[in-house]
Structures are given as structure tokens and as C-alpha cells.
Chain A
Amino acid sequence: MLDYVYTGWGAFWVTMFMFVPFALMAYWVIRRKSLVDTGPSQLQPGEFAPIEGVWLTFAFIFFVVANLASLKYIPWAAASGGTGGEPEVQVDFTAKSWAYDISNRQIEVGKPVRFSGRATDTQHGFAVYHPDGRVLFTMLMMPGTTKPTSAVYTFKEPGKYTVRCLEYCGVAHHRMQDELTVVKAN
């Protein structure tokens, strides 16, 4: 369940989870108090206080839970505790308008891979897409930094994974693509 929540579509549904109840409540309150029962409420100001407390407490708890549950899906946190003793495979890359130079384009399923890259001219992205079109992770590289940008990812399925630049980098930005091949482990 959580594996789905912390994906792109999970983000969409969590956003809707926050928005739709608000929209329905706002519509109901505005419609009722402007068209159905426009008179002042019988509720005394003090009687709003418990609702206020419950609402703000719910919002706070939801915000805390959503963020705490996300911790294990942060790439660097996952890398520090989730490689299960497997040594990381290092893949270095350089991004320059409008191509990548990648040290190794063939990767094995189940092996944690550390992608480390630099941009040499302007800002570039390095987003790895699953063969079904989802973004697995994305990175931002800026020229002039002291360290390479870095993320660790463990591929679960073999296939052809597209790499795309997701930071606008000029007139051929949309052509800045590459491919990684993920194969079954020996």
C-alpha cells in the first residue's frame, strides 16, 4: 500500500484526499448559507471552538503521519538502511547539452545502484522512467558544484528504462534522452 502511496499517482490521490473533502464541505457551507438558510447561525462563537480544535488537530496529525511514513522512501535514507548488505554498483554520468555520458548502461536486477552525475554546462535533470512510463526517480544537476548529485536505486524488474532530462536546458531539451538496460541477475 505505502509503496503505491509514495509514487507519482500516490501523490495525486493524496492531493485529492486533501482537496475533495474540503471542496465538498466548502460547497455545502457556501450554498447552504447563501441560498438555503442565509440567517445568522444559532451556534454561539464558543461552540465553534471544539470544531476548530478537532479540525486543526486532524490536519496536524495527518501532516505528521504523511511525512513520517515517507521517510523510508527517501532515496538517501533508503540507501543508508535498505541495501541489505549488498555492495552498491557505481554508475557515473555526465550531462551536457543535449546528451549523457553514462559509465555503465547495463544493470542487474536487485543490485543497489548509486547514480552519481554532474552537469558540465547548464542545469540538467536525470530522470529514470520505468518501461510502463512512470518516473522512478529524478535528479537535478547544476554546474559548478563541489560534489556530484547522487541517488541510490534498486531495480526490481528487467527491461529498457528511458532516461530523460527534466530540467529545461534549451531548444533541444526534449531530445536529451538515453536508455538503461536492466537484466536478470546471474
Chain B
Amino acid sequence: MKVSLEVNGRTCEADVEPRKTLLDTLREDLKLVGSHAGCEHGVCGACTVLIDGEPARACLMFAVQADGYEITTIEGLAPAPGELGVVQDAFCETHGLQCGYCTPGMILTAHALLNRNAEPSREDIVDAISGNICRCTGYGQIVEAVELAAERLRKANVPRNERGAHPNAPVNDPAAEHDAPQEGVLEAAEADTPHGGRW
């Protein structure tokens, strides 16, 4: 069957069997291998992507079900090639990853949480990532990473909504045409944080 998917703001065509999951289609047909195949039956969360801004398991959806939704993968979170998004950067800063296998799913789940909740409590974060299994870190530094990202996003003054910022597009508040920085958000936030966010 032919499917047309909206992935990271681009329309992608693929010809797939009905039984091919969205995950396998992203990885094999669209060559977006950032979404990881872990358990392939909905337990581990490594394949988490955003469907219309909500985290969802790409292994529990067939590609033929996914047309018309806005799909965001980890590749869609970076503001520009070679750069990291705020949440990605926070995971690096706090050592919120070791082997990295769960990281794309963790980051997309955290990204969706922070789009809905600017000041999540520790419990909110733990609940949000409860469906993502990490076998390295013990979760402590992952929770720290999300807390740091939340703090930086609050300071960055970037408008957010439930569906999230459109991937690959700078989001500017039209009401603050001259004030909102196009670039340098991270540097500004870092300057506000003692020791560059490390504690």
C-alpha cells in the first residue's frame, strides 16, 4: 500500500505492506534511524515518536494508520544540522545517557511533557518517562536532564504549545518581533545558570 507520511514537516511517500510498523517504515524506507527498535511490542519505549505532538510508540502503529498525522522523530528536534535542541543539550550536560539506546525516546517524551508543562515536578517527570526503559543510568540523571531543560526553556522565553514547536523552524512570538532572539537561546540560558547548568 502507498502511504504518505508527514515526518518532521516534510511529506514522505512510501510503499509498504500493511503489516509494516511505522517504526520499520521510518528506519528502513525513510532512513530515519534515530527511532530505535527495542522490544518491538510496546514495552521499552525506545521507538517513541511524537504523533501530533503526543508521545506514542512507533512499534505499536502501522505505517498505513499514520497518514495525515504530524510525526516528529528525534531527527526533527535539532534546530539546525549539527546543533542540538534544548532538551538534547540538557541530556548531554547532565550525563543523562550512557549507551544512548533509550535516549531518542526519552528526549521526545520529555519534549512532549515540557510543551504541556513548563514547571514539571519531579513526580510529573517520573510519571512522564515511566514508559521508557533505561538500563544504564538508573534514571537519576535523566530526571535531572529534564529538570534542567525545563529551567532553560522557561528562561528562553520561547512560546510553546501542546503540539510543540514545528520541527526545524525557529519559533518566534510575533508580538515580540524585535526582542525574541533567533539564535543564541542556549548561550543566554547558560549565562543565567551557575556553572553552565552543572551542579
A joins B in a complex: no
